[in-house]
Homo-oligomer: A and B are copies of this chain.
Amino acid sequence: MAARTADLTGGRPVVPSRGVLRPLGLSEVRITGGFWAQRQATNGRATLDHGREWMDKLGWTGNFTAEVGRGSAERRGREFSDSEVYKLIEAMSWETGRQADPARDTEIAELTTMIAGAQAAGGYLHTAFGRPGQQARYGDLAWGHELYCAGHLLQASVARARTSGDDALLNVARRVADHVCEEFGPAGRDAVCGHPEIEPGLVELFRATGEQRYLDQAALFVARRGRRTLPRHEFGWSYFSDDIPVREAKVLRGHAVRALYLAAGVVDLAVETGDDELLETVAAQFDRTLARRTYLTGGMGSRHLDEAFSDDFVLPADRAYSETCAGIAAIMVAWRLMLATGRERYADVIERILYNVVATAIGDDGRSFFYAHTLHQRSLTAVLPGDVEQLGFGGGPRAPWFEVSCCLANTARMLASLSTYVASVDDDGLRVHQYADADIDTTLADGRRVGLRMRTGYPDDGTVGFEVTAAEPGPWTLALRLPAWAAGATVTLNGEPQSATGDRVVLRRDFAVGDRIVLALPMRPRFTRPDPRIDAVRGCVAVEQGPVVLCVESVGGELDLDSLRVDAGTDPAADGGVTVRGVAEELPERPWPYADAGPVGQRTTLDVPLVPYHRWARSGPSTMRVWLPTT
């Protein structure tokens, strides 16, 4: 790993001081069109305001006001609602970095003033604890989410600092962090928060400020995790990742978002402390999680009860939990691991999650969201009116809001900062990880300026065209990711075929402005078969097309999806839409569903149309399934 100096410019979400890859900032990569540009526009136009409106309506912003602070007005929302305001500010910050917006700048400044006003003298900041009539500070570390909220504040403050000249929120965050270091430092409480998040927050604040004690405090929290200092709970210590010390664990477990936020912080810590053993430990945990505990969509966490990972290979399609936030947290981990190790396969993971969790989560209007992502909807989805909050969390259709509404701001901050996941710089040159209409303008490791224009209809089309728009003399490398599914991909450089094997195409030459590269990824739909240990989908296939998982959807429920069997011996067809050959079998009613032989029904052959999974439930109540039983 090469060490680098951190800086506050360029709008980078994660700025490790060393690693195989250097991330680019919002000012260095712009998404200019296509699939994600449309979603970024909706995010900036609708989602941020939608979030603000609901947080005002529900009193989550109002909790920061003096009336609540003095106890003369009731605090509203759950104990983690402060964090939603912070995540929204983080999203707004990336959005202003993506596209200047003075009105939004003013909004952020006003919110910052409001938040600063709620900060206690010693730096403590949480609207649900320690004030008149409230529970004492840190009186409920398991569930209070105090350090969790602080962690999101730290991340938001860093986002704001990296996308503006405004360090007002950073100053609030410094005082929070100083307070945390004092309260939980070596001589302080020997404790951790029930919900990890302070860890990546502290490391990022260290990166933004150079303050060593923040990094040390993150190290202390990571060292303490897994010692069972949190109280016994019916979900077990694993729920909090507090069952096994971080360095001893073999896989992610318990509450998925908790485990993934912690893993992100551990990667950050390992990178900043040069602890390669810790880095490889958390990489192995994540790799094993990918191999045994991840849905085809890249979604993680299969249990509704505790929003948790289950045992290896317990990945039911029915009621798949796979919450939006776990998808985003998994991107955070994968991105950090890729920056540190340069392993391109983590970009495959990011792509999978983006197209099949993040893109699925958002309604077309940017004002409704999936919290959880089932892979099999047997009964017709309900439709919620636009002004109705979904109680609790979890199942159900896209809703305008959830009582636990972490998914909205999380999605918003991911979309606003998405361009920074497109490419990075390594010691040899430029690496492109994600394919989209984008303009890249950055500097190589040796300081030479480089520009690249990328244009594509991806993921509808597998052809990605590149044109070098800036180059200085001397050779450098342009590396283009080859997704694991893209066997048979081809690439040309100024019309000349190039080798395209392994996990990336590597083109090294003395590039000139105007050089053209065309990457052709095979986009024919393909059948995918699950590991036989995933009992829940045994005997089924899924259909994927490029990075996109497809599904069968029946709007109105006219087609009984559970009667379908597909012929996995005949390749999916792709003229017009994607279809697979199959039969619908009308099964007889039986009083008991178990017998020495299965039921036999009337079979009708048919071509079954598939749609992208991320498109489902957008055209009214429907049933849906991703995994299709074979004939």
Binding site for B on A (CB under 8 A): 232-235, 287, 290-292, 294, 296, 303-305, 310-314, 316-319, 345, 376, 378-379, 390-394, 403, 484, 526-540, 542, 562-563, 587, 589-599, 627, 629
Contacts and interface: CB of A to CB of B under 8 A. Distances in A.
B526 A313 contact: no
A384 to B, nearest CB: 12
Contacts of A394: 234, 305
Nearest to A532: B598
Contacts of A296: 594
A234 B401 CA distance: 13
Nearest 4 A-B pairs (CB), nearest first? A234-B392, A234-B391, A531-B593, A304-B305
A235 B594 CA distance: 29
A290 B592 contact: yes
Contacts of A378: 311-314
A310 B291 CA distance: 28
Given A318-B535, A590-B531, A596 B305 contact: no
Contact of A536 (B318, B484, B530): B318
A232 B391 contact: yes
Given A304-B303, A379-B311, A539 B536 contact: no
B318 A592 contact: no
Contacts of A589: 291
Contact of A591 (B290, B314, B528, B598): B290
Given A313-B562, A539-B538, A531 B594 contact: yes
Given A391-B233, A536-B318, A587 B531 contact: yes
Contacts of A528: 594-596
B391 A590 contact: no
Given A484-B592, A528-B594, A529-B596, 8 more contacts: A296-B594, A311-B379, A313-B593, A529-B594, A530-B594, A532-B598, A533-B593, A535-B540
B317 A587 contact: no
Contacts of A533: 562-563, 587, 593
Contacts of A393: 234
B532 A629 contact: yes
Given A304-B304, A311-B378, A527-B596, A536 B591 contact: no
A536 B536 contact: yes
Nearest to A378: B311
A154 to B, nearest CB: 31
A527 B394 CA distance: 37
A234 B292 CA distance: 31
Nearest to A293: B593
Contacts of A317: 535
Contact of A291 (B305, B531, B534, B591): B591
A319 B313 contact: no
Contact of A531 (B235, B313, B318, B598): B598
A29 to B, nearest CB: 27
Contact of A593 (B235, B291, B527, B627): B291
A173 B232 CA distance: 39
A483 to B, nearest CB: 11
A102 B304 CA distance: 49
28 contacts: A232-B391, A233-B391, A234-B393, A234-B403, A291-B590, A291-B593, A305-B305, A311-B318, A312-B378, A313-B562, A316-B316, A316-B536, A317-B535, A318-B535, A484-B592, A527-B596, A529-B594, A531-B587, A531-B590, A531-B594, A531-B598, A532-B587, A532-B598, A533-B562, A535-B536, A536-B536, A538-B539, A539-B539
A235 B596 CA distance: 36
A352 to B, nearest CB: 9
Contacts of A562: 313, 533
Nearest to A316: B316
Nearest to A560: B533
Nearest to A393: B234
A528 B590 CA distance: 14
Given A291-B589, A310-B318, A378-B311, A629 B596 contact: no
Count chain B CB atoms within 10 A of each CB in A403, A540, A562, A629 and give the residue with the most: A562
Nearest to A291: B591
A593 B534 contact: yes
A539 B536 CA distance: 10
Contacts of A287: 591
A535 B627 contact: yes
A291 B535 contact: no
A256 to B, nearest CB: 15
A496 to B, nearest CB: 30
B594 A542 contact: yes
A69 B137 CA distance: 34
B599 A531 contact: yes
A292 B303 CA distance: 22
Contacts of A376: 535
A564 to B, nearest CB: 10
Contacts of A597: 529
Contacts of A484: 592
Contacts of A403: 234
Nearest to A529: B598
Contacts of A539: 538-539
Contacts of A318: 310-311, 314, 316, 535-536
A442 to B, nearest CB: 30
A629 B535 contact: yes
Count chain B CB atoms within 10 A of each CB in A305, A319, A590, A596 and give the residue with the most: A305
A587 to B, nearest CB: 7
Nearest to A531: B593
A294 B596 CA distance: 17
